[in-house]
């Protein structure tokens, strides 16, 4: 097939057009760069070098020279808010909103940022009013999430439930876990008011939202116990075994109080022994040890501790093992064992117990909502010893 040599003539033409276009883009970029103050580039450099204080000073200088630069206003407001200077962030975004020439898209952006400023500053009423203005638009869903955060902070669980249900529709994300916890919060409040009927109703709603919610099962037992029905309370708390055996340490004390109320202490202690046999864990052993030692015998408790320590050695278990040995030891060995036990107890007393799986926040108490990141059900119901992973 003959080669069409005339196509070769187009190559230098195409190359020339590309070269001219590139030259035009470079000239355009250079002209735009030349029009920007040097402070702008200094500010960017400070940001890249993680020097926000110097970046703020540089951008403030740019804003003074060119007040129309809305992007820099947004950057400044964000930097102020991250530094905790919420008053300055609020002023920046309010100044933007006061401009008559601000495009609608940027006005919406400035209003959302202002709501974030109010939320960060703890001005919850003003933040709520601001976010409620976003009925629709690109910031509507994010504003609803912020409103949900506000209602959680205020412990306005009715509003939180309504907003979570709304978010399920607008965002397409399930909030069943959170809604169940909100109902549990309302059940807890009703229980504190000694309103058993209201508490039971909220527990049912929690279970409807999330049948796997362990807290609702535990609360059902609390309601029965408060009503003077320990047998029904035991039935509720024993359901935790089928729902989540890992949560059993959280109901050990409750179960034993109910069994004691019925005069069936040994039965309750033997139930704990069966749990330890099926679901061995350091937490369950630590919570159950004293009851088993008191109502079944120190030898049985000692055997359980020794078996658990062989499976998973840890300081808390060692403390219990020494406690069991102290009970049967004779002088002078008893004094030596007591000294060792007291030293380990002192060491383990201040160890963090539970760790949030989302943010890593550590706490000695178990929380359904993390105090650090506000996530729900992010704590595993088991204690940790940080030193175990540091060797």
* Residue corresponding to tokens 């439930």: 161
Evaluate the CA torsion angle 57, 58, 62, 63 in order and state its sign: negative
Known binder of ligand: residue 184?
Answer: no
Q: Topology of 67-172 in CATH?
A: 1.25.40
DSSP state of 376: B
Structure tokens given for 391: 């060797």
Domains 67-172 and 174-244 share a fold: yes
pLDDT of residue 61: 54
- CATH number assigned to the domain with residue range 174-244, chosen from the 4 options 1.20.58, 3.30.1760, 1.10.10, 1.25.40: 1.25.40
Alpha helices in 132-264 (DSSP H): 140-154, 157-171, 176-192, 196-209, 214-226, 230-238, 240-243, 252-261
To the nearest 10°, report the CA torsion of 291, 297, 302, 308: -50
- Burial (Cβ within 10 Å: 0-12, 13-18, ≥19) of residue 252: buried
Report d(CA 277, CA 311) in Å as an integer: 12
Question: Residue 297: left if φ>0, alpha if ψ -120 to 50, beta else—which one?
Answer: left
pLDDT of residue 289: 86
User: For 18-30, what is the HEC assignment?
Assistant: HHHHHHHHHHHHH
Structure tokens given for 48: 């890249």
User: b/e for 103-133, b at 16 or more Cβ within 10 A?
Assistant: eeebebbbbbbbbbbbbbbebeebbbebbee
For the chain, the structural domain boundaries read 67-172, 174-244, 264-349, 351-391
Task: Collapse the DSSP code of 252 into the 3-class scheme (helix H, G, I; strand E, B; otherwise coil) and give the result.
Answer: helix
- The answer to whether residues 209 and 180 touch, using CB atoms and an 8 Å cutoff, is yes
- A 10 A CB-CB count for 254 gives 19
pLDDT of residue 83: 82
- A 10 A CB-CB count for 272 gives 24
pLDDT of residue 261: 96
Known binder of ligand: residue 146?
Answer: no
Per-residue pLDDT of the chain (391 residues; tens, 9 = 90+): 444 544 444 445 445 545 454 444 434 433 444 444 554 445 545 544 555 556 555 555 554 445 556 777 787 788 788 888 899 889 888 888 888 877 888 899 999 999 999 999 999 999 999 999 998 889 999 999 999 999 999 999 999 999 999 999 999 999 999 999 999 999 999 999 999 999 999 999 999 999 999 999 999 999 999 999 999 999 999 999 999 999 999 999 999 999 999 999 999 999 999 999 899 888 888 889 889 989 998 888 878 777 777 776 666 666 666 766 666 666 676 666 677 667 766 666 666 578 888 998 888 889 999 999 999 999 888 877 654 443 3
Report d(CA 229, CA 254) in Å as an integer: 13
pLDDT of residue 68: 55
Task: Collapse the DSSP code of 68 into the 3-class scheme (helix H, G, I; strand E, B; otherwise coil) and give the result.
Answer: coil
**122 Cβ contact list (under 8 Å, min separation 6):** none
Can you name the residues that pair with 376 across neighbouring β-strands?
A: 369
Evaluate the CA torsion angle 231, 232, 234, 238 in order and state its sign: positive
**Residues for the chain: how many in total?**
391
């Amino acid at each position: 097939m003959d080669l069409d040599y005339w196509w070769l003539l187009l190559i230098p033409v195409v190359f020339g057009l590309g070269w001219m276009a590139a030259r035009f883009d470079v000239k355009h970029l250079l002209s735009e760069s030349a029009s920007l103050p040097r402070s702008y580039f200094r500010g960017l450099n400070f940001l890249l070098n993680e020097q926000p204080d110097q970046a703020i000073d540089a951008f403030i200088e740019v804003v003074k020279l060119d007040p129309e630069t809305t992007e820099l206003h947004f950057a400044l407001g964000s930097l102020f808010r991250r530094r905790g200077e919420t008053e300055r962030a609020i002023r920046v975004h309010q100044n933007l909103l006061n401009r008559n020439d601000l495009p609608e898209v940027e006005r919406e952006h400035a209003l959302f940022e202002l709501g974030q400023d109010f939320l960060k500053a703890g001005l919850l009423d003003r933040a709520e009013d601001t976010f409620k203005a976003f009925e629709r638009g690109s910031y509507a869903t994010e504003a609803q999430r912020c409103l949900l955060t506000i209602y959680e902070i205020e412990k306005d669980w009715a509003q939180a439930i309504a907003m979570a249900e709304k978010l399920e529709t607008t965002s397409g994300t399930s909030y069943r876990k959170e809604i169940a916890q909100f109902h549990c919060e309302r059940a807890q409040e009703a229980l504190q008011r000694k309103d058993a009927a209201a508490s039971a109703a909220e527990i049912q709603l929690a279970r409807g939202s999330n049948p796997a919610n362990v807290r609702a099962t535990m609360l059902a037992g609390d309601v029965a116990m408060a009503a003077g029905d320990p047998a029904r309370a035991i039935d509720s708390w024993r359901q935790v075994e089928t729902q989540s055996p890992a949560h059993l340490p959280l109901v050990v004390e409750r179960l034993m109080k109910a069994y004691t109320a019925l005069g069936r202490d040994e039965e309750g202690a033997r139930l704990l022994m069966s749990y330890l046999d099926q679901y061995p864990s350091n937490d369950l052993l630590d919570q159950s040890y004293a009851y088993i030692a008191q109502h079944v015998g120190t030898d049985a408790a000692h055997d359980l501790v020794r078996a658990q320590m062989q499976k998973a050695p840890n300081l808390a278990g060692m403390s219990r093992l020494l406690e069991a040995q102290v009970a049967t030891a004779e002088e002078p060995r008893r004094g030596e064992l007591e000294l060792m036990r007291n030293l380990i107890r002192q060491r383990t007393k201040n160890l963090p117990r539970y760790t949030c799986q989302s943010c890593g926040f550590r706490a000695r108490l178990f929380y359904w909502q993390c105090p650090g990141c506000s996530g729900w059900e992010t704590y595993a119901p088991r204690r940790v010893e940080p030193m175990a992973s540091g060797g």
